[in-house]
Amino acid sequence: MKNNLTSIAALAALAVTAHAGTAAADCTLPVGVVYPTSVDWGKPIAETTLWVADMINEAGGVDGCRVNAILRDTQVDPRVGVDAARALVDLDRVQLLIGAVASGVTIPILTSVAAPSGVMQISCCSSTTRLTEIAAEGGANGLFFRTFATSNVQALVAAMKAQEAGYETITILYKNDDWGQDLGSLAAAAFAGAGIEVKAQIAINDDQPSYRAEVTQALATRPEALYLALYPKEGIAVVREWISLGGTTEFIGTNSLKSDEFREAVGMQHLGNFIGTDSSTPRTGSATAFVDAYTAHFNAPPSGPGLPNAFDAAAISLLAYHAAGRDATGAQIAAKVPMVTDPAGEPIDGDVAGFARAMELLSAGQPVSYQGGTGAVTFDQYGDVSAPAVFWNFGADGAITEIQYITLEEVAAFGASIE
Amino acid sequence: MIGMISYLAFFSTMAAIFAIAVLGLNLHWGYTGLFNGGVVAFFGAGAYGTMILGGRADATVLGGFGLPFLVALAGGVVLAGMLAWIVGLLTVRLRHDYLAISTFGVAIAFESLTRNAEWLTGGARGLRGFPRPFEAAVGNNFVYGLLFLAFVLLVLVLVYIGLERLVRSPFGRALRAIREDETAARSLGKNPTRLRLTSFVIGSMIMGVAGGLYVSFYAFVSPQDLAPILTFQIWAMLIVGGAGNNRGAILGAFLIWAAWTASGFLLARHAPVAMQIYTGSIQYILIGSVIVGMLLWRPQGLLPERLETSAGPDRTRPAGTNTTATTNKGVT
């Protein structure tokens, strides 16, 4: 009886092993994912990342190994995030960290975990120029990448639009966090470069009951136009007070205001002259393909911030891991990133078939040009991406409408012209 | 194996830094009865002070003087002390919840200052690139981690010994007298205002030490490091460990930080895939429950305060006769 049981158990074990063998490869590679899953907007970012890992596994895995994406929550707390990253590097022996979102978490992970330990790190959503400075000083050892364009693209095209519209003066209202402070000062420099006088730069703090003081201060500068680097919540409050006090309705706004809530709360009658900028919606088939694939997978369109960026961060880093091989170190993976984003390579889509084709080519030593949710991504020497830009507005029916596409080259040319 | 040791060294360094801050809070609350709700302000003053004095030069901010590590750390501690002295002068006559609210306000104001004074603190972008002390001399990342841990533990032991001597001295007895009954202490000729202010400044400087060690370990500081959750974490450590007992404060720091990190680690490893996305929220619930459970069933903490009597060696005071405010809540 006992013998029987043992043999049945052995058979079962064999069956399980055999099954596992066909479903996935015979080895697993741990990959660390550190995103703020306990925050509502962090969950879809983490889900998107895990989805990419599943697709990579379906396409054959990294160098024949199944990707084991270990998800850790940062709680948007630098201490929790750094600890999670440290545990992933030391205990799970990962060579690749995907994360984080908030710059205040991403940077200490880079400076105290990834860079000293030689692990590659890629972030979907950190926008601060601090990261560029750290890379420029050599603090990142070439191990850091991000798929979120720095705010400079948006600042440049905002100045381009203001110049086109013939504004001579403008006042900047910016959200008082790292993103807003960055964008506010970059935009001020760009406007000044384009010959537009910046009357004032006014910080808008979160969660204030009223912005009367800030709005009055802005109004006193009598600008021809208002530049809004704000999120919808405070954007609504500020713009409503601004209009009720008789301010101009010539607005230039950032991609963060691309929100139906903002349009409804302010009212279309005041947003006729509103022009928005965005750096993250490219004119490529791959971007639409991402939206379709996401919608099919999650039964909802990608509505939160940073989702195409999260998709691309995961896909590019895992493909580079594949190119570098299963035993690669962080530095070796980082070295293969240009091979995945080579503009001269064969264009590759962000789906299972595309990943399978990319892995085939990469294994043969051929570069590929990955075309993802944010278009054809290329990194500069600091791991930053540039991006094409678009202008958008709230169309006649109130729907968010793209009105003009500015290629990467045009953005760069304008940038050079105002320096 | 090396990975395990490396992680444990990292964990212990972080927990020891927390423990130093908890010891500072223990002097405030455990021994003097000062309800400091603004731990992050003094932690942050130490952190930013150290970073500004010792950090790398940066064209956009005033600081980055690149001073030697120990000088920068001392500067950070002095800054924390000065902040505490000013805050203390203004608030020293406040009691319990009033003091808690005003110090909480100081912490918010300090966070706001670091977020907005871009010329000094880099604003929300933070200050980066503190050269990790002696890293170049060591070279090996693993050995460096162990050496840094040894240094932090040395500081922890020094702070612990210093505090133990302090609270056993006549000064320490006077502090406890104020905590228990200020009027009685005054009638015996003690100057409560002066004693409370001294205790407040010393405790805050200890928190500043923790802040300075923290930035040198992380090589970065931003306003995000000064979120109110840090004050909550440090309070939780003191409550669980045992207010009024320095060993309890250290134990609480290690236990709570272990619970915080281990729950995340275990959930990430063992929770079903479908639940992975919710592990962060589950972690919050678990940690919250531990703290509530502690307050309900063992309000005096794991290592309760020991009373010294002239009759003999230390004896643990029975819970029922404990008169500190925390314990009263649980006992009645």
- Percentage of residues in chain B with pLDDT exceeding 70? 89
Contacts of B285 in chain A (CB under 8 A): none
- Residue A8 counted as domain residue: no
- Residue A20 counted as domain residue: no
| A145 torsion bin: left (phi>0), alpha (psi -120 to 50), beta (else) | beta
* Same domain, yes or no: A273 and A399: yes
Contacts of A42 (CB under 8 A, 6+ apart): A35, A36, A74, A76, A101
B279 reaches A (C-beta below 8 A) = yes
* Predicted model pTM: 0.80
More confident residue, A408 or A366: A366
Indicate yes or no: CB of B219 within 8 angstroms of CB of A108: yes
Query: For chain A, what is the mean pLDDT?
Result: 86
* Same domain, yes or no: A124 and A256: no
- The predicted model gives A90-109 an average pLDDT of 91
Could you read off the pLDDT of A114-143 as tens digits, one per residue? 998 999 999 998 888 888 888 888 888 899
Nearest to B67 by CA among B267, B216, B251, B197: B216
Assigned token pair, A121 = 């790190």
- Residue A383 counted as domain residue: no
Round to the nearest angstrom and report the end-to-end CA distance of chain B: 49
- Residue A359 counted as domain residue: yes
The predicted pLDDT at position A360 comes to 94
pLDDT greater than 60 at residue A195: yes
The predicted pLDDT at position A281 comes to 54
Could you read off the pLDDT of A301-335 as tens digits, one per residue? 887 778 889 999 999 999 999 999 999 999 999 99
More confident residue, A140 or B137: A140
* Same domain, yes or no: A290 and A372: yes
- pLDDT tier for residue B329 given thresholds of 50, 70 and 90: very low
* Same domain, yes or no: A354 and A250: no
* Same domain, yes or no: A47 and A138: yes
* CA of residue B98 relative to chain centroid, distance: 21
The predicted pLDDT at position A280 comes to 53
* Same domain, yes or no: A165 and A194: yes
Per the structure, the count of domains in chain A is 2
A108 reaches B (C-beta below 8 A) = yes
The predicted pLDDT at position A18 comes to 41
More confident residue, A83 or A390: A83
Kindly report the nearest CA distance between residue B318 and chain A, in angstroms: 37
Look-up: residue for tokens 């704000």?
A230
The predicted pLDDT at position B129 comes to 66
Strands of A66-73's sheet in order across? A66-73, A28-35, A96-99, A120-123, A144-146
The predicted pLDDT at position B328 comes to 41
* Same domain, yes or no: A31 and A135: yes
| B242 torsion bin: left (phi>0), alpha (psi -120 to 50), beta (else) | left
Domain that holds residue A142: 26-149+285-376
- Residue A1 counted as domain residue: no
* Same domain, yes or no: A184 and A225: yes
d(CA B264, CA B259): 8
Q: Does the interface predicted TM-score (ipTM) exceed 0.90?
A: no
d(CA A185, CA A165): 21
A107 reaches B (C-beta below 8 A) = yes
* Same domain, yes or no: A106 and A70: yes
Q: Which helix (H) or strand (E) holds A4?
A: helix A2-23
* Same domain, yes or no: A179 and A128: no
The CATH class, in words, for B2-331 is mainly alpha
Contacts of A297 (CB under 8 A, 6+ apart): A51
Least CA distance to B218: which residue of chain A? Answer: A112
Query: For chain B, what is the mean pLDDT?
Result: 85
- Residue A270 counted as domain residue: yes
Contacts of A93 in chain B (CB under 8 A): 3
CATH number of the domain within which A334 lies: 3.40.50.2300
* CA of residue B61 relative to chain centroid, distance: 28
* Same domain, yes or no: A240 and A294: no
- Residue A2 counted as domain residue: no
Look-up: residue for tokens 């400079």?
A152
Residues 83-102 on A with a CB inside 8 Å of B are: 83-84, 86-87, 89-91, 93, 102
Residue B37 DSSP code: -
- Residue A5 counted as domain residue: no
Facing residue for A46 by CB, picked from B132, B230, B277: B277
Contacts of A32 in chain B (CB under 8 A): none
**Are the CB atoms for A255 and A247 separated by under 8 Å?**
no
pLDDT greater than 60 at residue A157: yes
Least CA distance to B257: which residue of chain A? Answer: A80
* Same domain, yes or no: A302 and A267: no
B313 reaches A (C-beta below 8 A) = no
